[in-house]
Amino acid sequence: MKIDLSKAVCIIQSGHVVGIPTETVYGLAADAFNLDAVEKTFRLKGRPSDNPLIVHICSTDQLKMLAIDIPESAYQIAEQFWPGPLTLVLNKNHRVPDVVTGGLKTVAVRMPDHPLTLELIRQTGPLTAPSGNRSGQPSPTKASHLHEDYKGELPVLDGGISTIGLESTVLDLTLSPPAILRPGAIDPAEIFRKTGIQVTQISSGSSASLKSPGTRYTHYKPNAIVEWIDTIPATFLPDIYYIYHTMNPGIKKRNVISYQGNFEKLAQNLYDHFRTADHLSYRKVQIECLPPSEKSHLIGALSDRISKAIG
């Protein structure tokens, strides 16, 4: 059900969960310092208890409530990228309940770039928020996705479409050198360009990727089979949903989508396409193979999410 900001504040303060908009994807928000409320989030989402949550803040002053031994690099990066689609992993302050971090000694923190959610956090304090989807499924990028997923029973603050559409970059600053555990809209090149800080990218099958518990679980999967495709077929089958990024197949059909090189728009709509494919009972989603990641900073993140949906 749709609620306004003051209602969202009341619900959070009374220990319940609210769907919130962010620029990446919608989240399931709860008071980060309320153990029962955080546990409710895990139950609602069907999330394994060893997969930790990101804590959302509205000012860098709140970092000290959540983390200790905060390196200078965290402030340099925050200055350039917050509010924005970047999560920092830091050493955890003992005040943060262990359930938030799945028992880890580190905590993930980000400042989302959405005016409604920033105002909510100003009034409630830091909020845990995993992506709002049920575990394993595509993340929600619209309030209506959360209404579908929770059969209209979840109170949701509607902040429009998530402009980025893919989850935040997760950067672990407790590793040396700092490492990206999950690719997102902000990539190592941009971090280096804006801060001079060199970060590495952990590839998802490596043993170091065990640092990011989320990478152990299946993700972003619609019910339809997802596949890469490298050529335009001679005929388009009615039970396949086709997503192209470069070519204009010169055909107007509801199941043939073409992005003409606009990777931002493709990222914004990817999960919505997965959901539409399921609503309309398509058997498969075929996505044109992506070009090398130098072409756009989003390609690494898109390729990560699509590969996980392929499974």
24: contact with ligand TXA by CB under 6 A: yes
Q: Least CB distance from residue 139 to Mg ion, whole Å?
A: 6
Q: Least CB distance from residue 131 to ligand TXA, whole Å?
A: 4
Neighbours of 262 (CB within 10 A): 13
169: contact with Mg ion by CB under 5 A: no
Q: How far apart are CA 179 and CA 253, in angstroms?
A: 42
Site pattern 31..60 for ligand TXA (x: CB under 6 A): --------------------xxxx------
| Cis omega (within 30 of 0) for bond into 177 | yes
The count of residues in the chain is 311
Q: Least CB distance from residue 117 to ligand TXA, whole Å?
A: 9
**The pair of three-digit structure tokens given for residue 289, joined into one six-digit string:** 């193979």
130: contact with ligand TXA by CB under 6 A: yes
Beta carbon nearer to ligand TXA, 175 or 225 = 175
8: contact with ligand TXA by CB under 6 A: no
106: contact with ligand TXA by CB under 6 A: yes
Among positions 62, 124, 212, 286, the unique one binding ligand TXA when judged by CB under 6 A? 212
b/e per residue 34-51 (b: at least 16 CB within 10 A):
beebbebbbebbebeeeb
**The pair of three-digit structure tokens given for residue 21, joined into one six-digit string:** 């908009």
What is the phi/psi pair of residue 290, to 5°?
Answer: -85, 150
Residue 281, phi-psi category: left (phi > 0), alpha (psi -120 to 50), beta (remainder):
left
Among positions 17, 25, 202, 309, the unique one binding ligand TXA when judged by CB under 6 A? 25
41: contact with Mg ion by CB under 5 A: no
Q: H or E segment at 284?
A: strand 284-288
Query: What pairing do the DSSP bridges indicate for beta strands 106-110 and 127-128?
Result: unpaired
Which listed option, ligand TXA, Mg ion, none, makes contact with residue 18 (CB within 5 to 8 Å by class)?
Answer: none
Task: Write down the residue that tokens 């609503």 correspond to.
Answer: 279
Cβ pair 192, 76 in contact under 8 A: no
101: contact with ligand TXA by CB under 6 A: yes
Site pattern 122..161 for Mg ion (x: CB under 5 A): ---------x------------------------------
Where would I find the beta strands (DSSP E) of 111-219?
A: 127-128, 156-157, 169-172, 179-182, 200-201
Which listed option, Mg ion, ligand TXA, none, makes contact with residue 299 (CB within 5 to 8 Å by class)?
Answer: none
Task: Write down the residue that tokens 């009341």 correspond to.
Answer: 10
Among positions 16, 114, 142, 182, the unique one binding ligand TXA when judged by CB under 6 A? 182
Among positions 140, 214, 222, 300, the unique one binding ligand TXA when judged by CB under 6 A? 214
- Residue numbers of the site for Mg ion (CB under 5 A)? 131
- Residue numbers of the site for ligand TXA (CB under 6 A)? 22, 24-25, 27, 51-54, 87, 89, 101, 104, 106-108, 112, 129-131, 167-168, 170, 181-182, 211-214
